[in-house]
């Protein structure tokens, strides 16, 4: 697997490269236009197809509800009557709601290259990879770390795993959607990263919503509180590099803040939430986790030692 730090350090260069290529593409220079097939025209699939049209590619689309293709057809896309009709495209992207809904659709076609952007588990991605290999399809599994409105902008990052050869062969097409990051040949890797990153997002957002509910019990509005939360979140983000080093080395020595103090603080948060009449559903499991780690002997260690309990 490629070292994630190497990936991060190459980010600026690859962004620069993307901008140059996008500019060249807009000017009709350099890359050759390809035929791109898109299966699924929900919020995300329609954004993907729109970005390919914007970059001048020949786009063929299929959707269970064909009426949704209207705006894309007006921009020059071609509508396929069946999934099988997109199979002749140079590269086919699939973006349906789930792997379960996608499975019968994929069974209808045998494209040369399939890029799956439907969210799922690592196991589901590996199953599709096995199925694709049995049909001679080059398979790339991707996850979109962006909302539809971000597709085609520098804010979009898309993580890929699977066939490195297929990824490289179609890198320029994929760059139209956002910054592509190839994680390795294991087709399950992108889904694993996706769920790990979304876990950070969901737990952070839940913590924020709990905070709003807590200060709200005393009449503090979200508008008043959020300017405090934003720099705090960025300060918390600043701790991650140090925690990463501690987890990597297994050395949890700290002269900053020990786990027992933080476990005690979490108990205060649970008590105060209860006293203020709101649910403890967000902080209570965290208080339990930290207490378990203290009981396991990590009281004097850094917060990063909690990972031993999670593992």
What part of residues 143-162 is at the interface with ligand NAP (CB under 6 A)? 144, 147-148
Tell which one of 65, 134, 235, 275 touches ligand NAP (CB under 6 A).
Answer: 65
Contact call for residue 107 and ligand NAP (CB under 6 A): no
**Cα angle 149-154-159, degrees, rounded to a multiple of 5:** 85
Q: Are 172 and 160 in contact (CB under 8 A)?
A: no
Measured CA to CA, the distance from residue 133 to residue 123 in angstroms comes to 15
263: enclosing H helix or E strand: helix 259-275
The span from the CA of 187 to the CA of 183, in Å, is 9
Beta-carbon-side half-sphere exposure of residue 301 (alpha carbons within 13 Å): 21
**What HEC string does 94-139 produce?**
ECCCCHHHHHHHHCCCCCCEEEECCCCCHHHHHHHHHHHHHCCCEE
Cβ-proximal residue to ligand NAP, closest one: 42
The piece of 92-100, 224-232, 244-252, 253-261 that touches ligand NAP (CB under 6 A) is: 92-100
**95 touches ligand NAP (CB under 6 A):** yes
The reply on whether position 181 binds ligand NAP by CB under 6 A is: no
- 77-to-35, 48, 66, 137 alpha-carbon distances in Å: 10, 12, 12, 24
Any contact of residue 54 with ligand NAP (CB under 6 A)? no
Q: Does 82 bind ligand NAP (CB under 6 A)?
A: no
To the nearest whole angstrom, how small is the minimum distance from the Cβ of residue 165 to ligand NAP? Answer: 25
Is residue 101 part of the contact set for ligand NAP (CB under 6 A)?
yes
Closest to 109 measured CA to CA, from 60, 41, 169: 60
Binding residues among 118-147 for ligand NAP as defined by CB under 6 A = 118-119, 144, 147
45 scored as a contact of ligand NAP (CB under 6 A):
yes
Residue 43 contacts ligand NAP per CB under 6 A = yes
Judged by CB, which is closer to ligand NAP: 40, or 299? 40
Chain positions contacting ligand NAP, by CB under 6 A? 40-45, 63-65, 68, 95-97, 101, 105, 118-119, 144, 147-148
């Amino acid at each position: 697997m490629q070292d994630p730090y190497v990936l991060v350090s190459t980010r600026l260069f690859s962004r620069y490269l993307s901008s140059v290529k996008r500019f060249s593409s807009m000017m009709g220079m350099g890359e050759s236009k390809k035929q791109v097939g898109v299966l699924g025209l929900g919020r995300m699939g329609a954004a993907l197809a729109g970005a390919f049209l914007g970059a001048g590619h020949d786009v063929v689309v299929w959707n269970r509800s064909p009426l949704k293709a209207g705006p894309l057809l007006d921009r020059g896309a071609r509508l396929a009557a069946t999934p099988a009709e997109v199979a002749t495209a140079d590269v086919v992207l699939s973006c349906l709601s789930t792997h379960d809904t996608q499975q019968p659709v994929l069974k209808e076609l045998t494209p040369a290259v399939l890029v799956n952007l439907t969210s799922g588990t690592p196991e589901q991605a590996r199953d599709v990879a096995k199925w694709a290999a049995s049909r001679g399809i080059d398979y790339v599994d991707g996850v979109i770390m962006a909302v539809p409105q971000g597709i085609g902008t520098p804010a979009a990052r898309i993580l890929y795993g699977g066939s490195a050869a297929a990824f490289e062969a179609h890198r320029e097409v994929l760059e139209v959607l956002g910054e592509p990051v190839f994680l390795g040949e294991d087709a399950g890797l992108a889904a694993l990263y996706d769920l790990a990153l979304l876990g950070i997002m969901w737990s952070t957002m839940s913590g924020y919503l709990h905070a709003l509910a807590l200060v709200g019990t005393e009449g503090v509005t979200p508008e008043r509180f959020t300017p405090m939360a934003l720099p705090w979140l960025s300060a918390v983000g600043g701790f991650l590099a140090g925690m990463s080093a501690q987890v990597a080395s297994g050395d949890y020595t700290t002269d900053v803040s020990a786990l027992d103090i933080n476990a005690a603080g979490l108990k205060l948060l649970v008590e105060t939430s209860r006293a203020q009449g709101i649910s403890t559903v967000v902080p209570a499991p965290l208080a339990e986790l930290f207490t378990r780690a203290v009981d396991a002997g990590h009281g004097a260690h850094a917060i990063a030692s909690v990972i031993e309990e999670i593992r």
